[in-house]
Structure 1
Amino acid sequence: MTSGTSPSVRRGRRIWLLRRAGAAAFMLFVVSLLIFGATQALPGDVVQMILGKEASPEQIMALRQQLNLDQPLATQYLRWLAELLHGNLGTSIVSKVPVADLLMPRIENSFFIVAISMSIAVPTSLFLGLLTATLKDSVVDKLVMGFSVLVNALPEFVLGLLLVLLLSTSVLHIFPAVSLLSPEVPIWAQPSRLALPIITLVLLQTTYLYRLVRSTVIDVLHTEYVQFAILKGLSPNRILLVHVLPNAIVPAIQAAGTIFAFSVGGVVVVEYVFGFPGLGTALADAVGVRDVPVVQAAVLTISVTFFITNIVTDMASFLLTPPGKGGRI
């Protein structure tokens, strides 16, 4: 039998990784086309919005030339793509600030609360999934499942508003209702202002991921090798840790990666509910004033995050499940 470190296995892994990277690069190219096309289709004239209704035709023409809007769309796209490849995201049309300088603090804020929420949601989901799977159809299992279904049935903004009513009003005035951060203070030093967005994300992430872990563990518990381990008299804890958990980890990692990627992109609703200065609110504000460079950069950041996260989680799953034992090549 070929060992997990044999040249053929390593070569297969490299080929698989190159395939995934190539597919991701192609998809990013397609996404860049879609982003550029969608921003060009936004309603309104950006030049007219900048100069106002009183602008003369000469002023409008001069600004169009300055922004390269007088060129064909294909030329505009290629110029934009070339600038992206050189690390230049452009300049905000509204604030005249480089887009990278404008978005970087927002990106850091969004990634911070998503990372913190995931660091809580993943171990919590593993614990609840293992617990409820071993206590299937018990009162605990039904209570946790019922709460999970209820939370997932609520839109993000409704869940956020309910948490505000519960934790930021006269009921339990524990946290501020608005998550406005002080720019002079590091984000990690303002925990009370981060609490509600993080709690909202943790609830959304945990209730989805725990059900996947629970379902996987139940399936594994009914496999022949687990039944054989039970007949051998192995302790329940040893069976869970040695036989069940390793098989539940792989789908959990894949789901966690997907949840992380979607959280970065979908956090816009949570950020808006709590007034949190993140990437989502920056994107929504930019769309409102048709600040095209900011919209393009924000959507591209979310897309790149999604693809990179998927590649990393696929790699982790591939390494944890090697070829010959369910791994993909």
Structure 2
Amino acid sequence: MLLAVALVVFMLFETLDSDAATVILSRTGGGDPTPEQLAALRAQLGLDRPALVRFEDWLIAFIQGDFGHSLISGRPVGDVLLGRATNSVALALITATLLVPASLALGLLAGARAGSRTDRVISVGALAAESVPSFVFGVLLVATVSLSLRLLPAVSLLPTGASVWDRPEILVLPVTCLLIGLAPHPVRMVRAQTAEVMASPYIKTARLNGIAGARLMLRQVAPNAVSASIHPLAGSVVGLIGGVAVVETLFSYPGLSQELLRAIESRDFPFVQSAAVLLAAVGIGIYLLADLLTLLVSPRARQVAMGGRR
């Protein structure tokens, strides 16, 4: 899968109408570069080699842990990624830490009272939030909380060398925006699974045997509903990769996405290629973890995975 991602990114890069040499020479302010200048710089950057040779060299180095050097700045890609990814990881971890329990709590609450006013309020709210792009909520949050009420900063800028933990207030609006955009889908999935479990015969039997209230929810309903909702939750966590990119751009948050967008604009192939494959690896790892958690909490899933063997 990672090899497929790497090939797709590489082929898309090859279809672009310019390369890093063109961008560098255009930024010098000397007008349109001459063919001789382009040829000389492409040879210096190694862009004159055949495409397959360049891909093979990058792939071998990547497998060995060498992400290459930026064609624009000359800095090691790993150093740039580490510096920027730290801020993005902080934003994603805080959001995921809040997203998972909030989605489970709201979904279980709505599903346990299917058809009630609580269920209708949560379901309608989740559907409405899921229908609106997350950047729209970001603009509304900036307009109300920042510009009108002046409670939080409108942009998440940081002084050079500072950590996001030095100014935690800049995380509030981006995290809120991500939660509003990502939580509705898992809430609806958990709600649907919970309602299905609540209507099952064994829950009715448990109630006839005097099991009710919190004991019924914690020991009978929640484990079955949550095990069927692990993959929707994993999908929302993976969605943080795309959601963080939008939010970082909207709030001028100093994360990996801004650097990645600049690298794409500059045709900085080593940076874009390495960043894309690493982000894909994170997504694949989250789905793999979801598969393992499903096997851990669901006896039925374990039986299917083992081909019916005990």
TM-score strictly above 0.5: yes
Letter in 2 for 1:80: W
Q: Deviations over 1:174-197 (max 9, x none)?
A: 110001123433222321111111
Q: Deviations over 1:113-166 (max 9, x none)?
A: 111111111111111111111222222222222221121111121111011112
The counterpart of 2:11, out of the listed 37, 42, 54, is 37
TM-score, structure 2 length as denominator? 0.91
2:148 matched to 1:204? no
Instruction: Among all aligned residue pairs of Structure 1 and Structure 2, give the percentage whose two residues are the same amino acid.
Output: 34
Report the Cα distance in structure 2 between the residues aligned to 1:194 and 1:43, rounded to whole angstroms: 38
State whether residues 183 and 236 of structure 2, in contact with CA within 8 Å, keep that contact through their aligned partners in structure 1: no
1:33: Cα distance to partner? 0.8
Report the Cα distance in structure 2 between the residues aligned to 1:41 and 1:208, rounded to whole angstroms: 35
The counterpart of 1:228, out of the listed 196, 200, 205, is 205
SS at match of 1:220: helix
Q: Deviations over 1:4-29 (max 9, x none)?
A: xxxxxxxxxxxxxxxxxxxxxxx111
TM-score, structure 1 length as denominator? 0.86
For 1:71-110, what aligned pairs fall within 5 Å after superposition?
71-110=49-88
Report the Cα distance in structure 2 between the residues aligned to 1:78 and 1:110, rounded to whole angstroms: 29
The counterpart of 1:174, out of the listed 151, 154, 161, is 151
Report the Cα distance in structure 1 between the residues aligned to 2:56 and 2:263, rounded to whole angstroms: 22
Report the Cα distance in structure 1 between the residues aligned to 2:158 and 2:195, rounded to whole angstroms: 43
Q: Residue 217 of structure 1 corresponds to which residue in structure 2? A: 194
* Ranges in structure 1 where 5+ consecutive residues have no aligned partner: 1-26
1:57: Cα distance to partner? 4.2
Q: Residue 44 of structure 2 corresponds to which residue in structure 1? A: 66
Select between 193-202 and 42-51 the one with higher mean Cα deviation: 42-51
State whether residues 129 and 210 of structure 1, in contact with CA within 8 Å, keep that contact through their aligned partners in structure 2: yes
SS at match of 1:169: helix
**Please, what is the CA RMSD of the aligned residues?**
1.8
Report the Cα distance in structure 1 between the residues aligned to 2:299 and 2:89, rounded to whole angstroms: 31
Letter in 2 for 1:196: L
For the structure 1 residues 206 and 326, does the alpha-carbon distance in structure 2 shift closer, same or farther, using more than 3 Å as the test?
A: farther
* Ranges in structure 2 where 5+ consecutive residues have no aligned partner: none
Report the Cα distance in structure 1 between the residues aligned to 2:300 and 2:197, rounded to whole angstroms: 19
SS at match of 1:168: helix
2:95 matched to 1:117? yes
SS at match of 1:70: coil
Q: Residue 120 of structure 2 corresponds to which residue in structure 1? A: 142
State whether residues 266 and 280 of structure 1, in contact with CA within 8 Å, keep that contact through their aligned partners in structure 2: no
The counterpart of 2:268, out of the listed 252, 266, 291, is 291
1:43: Cα distance to partner? 2.5
The counterpart of 1:280, out of the listed 257, 264, 273, is 257
1:327: Cα distance to partner? 4.9
Q: Residue 255 of structure 1 corresponds to which residue in structure 2? A: 232
Select between 265-274 and 214-223 the one with higher mean Cα deviation: 265-274
Q: Deviations over 1:76-126 (max 9, x none)?
A: 111110111111112122222211111212212112111111111111111
State whether residues 133 and 181 of structure 2, in contact with CA within 8 Å, keep that contact through their aligned partners in structure 1: no
Letter in 1 for 2:55: Y
Report the Cα distance in structure 1 between the residues aligned to 2:301 and 2:252, rounded to whole angstroms: 50
Q: Residue 155 of structure 1 corresponds to which residue in structure 2? A: 133
Letter in 1 for 2:23: M
Report the Cα distance in structure 2 between the residues aligned to 1:251 and 1:114, rounded to whole angstroms: 24
For the structure 1 residues 237 and 327, does the alpha-carbon distance in structure 2 shift closer, same or farther, using more than 3 Å as the test?
A: farther
Q: Residue 291 of structure 2 corresponds to which residue in structure 1? A: 314
For the structure 1 residues 306 and 273, does the alpha-carbon distance in structure 2 shift closer, same or farther, using more than 3 Å as the test?
A: same
Report the Cα distance in structure 2 between the residues aligned to 1:320 and 1:134, rounded to whole angstroms: 20
Report the Cα distance in structure 2 between the residues aligned to 1:43 and 1:276, rounded to whole angstroms: 30
State whether residues 111 and 264 of structure 1, in contact with CA within 8 Å, keep that contact through their aligned partners in structure 2: no
Q: Deviations over 1:271-301 (max 9, x none)?
A: 1110111122222222222222222122112
Q: Residue 13 of structure 1 corresponds to which residue in structure 2? A: none
State whether residues 317 and 327 of structure 1, in contact with CA within 8 Å, keep that contact through their aligned partners in structure 2: no
The count of corresponding residues between Structure 1 and Structure 2 is: 302
State whether residues 141 and 173 of structure 2, in contact with CA within 8 Å, keep that contact through their aligned partners in structure 1: yes
Letter in 2 for 1:278: G
Report the Cα distance in structure 2 between the residues aligned to 1:102 and 1:251, rounded to whole angstroms: 39
For the structure 1 residues 222 and 325, does the alpha-carbon distance in structure 2 shift closer, same or farther, using more than 3 Å as the test?
A: farther
1:325: Cα distance to partner? 6.0
Select between 53-62 and 287-296 the one with higher mean Cα deviation: 53-62
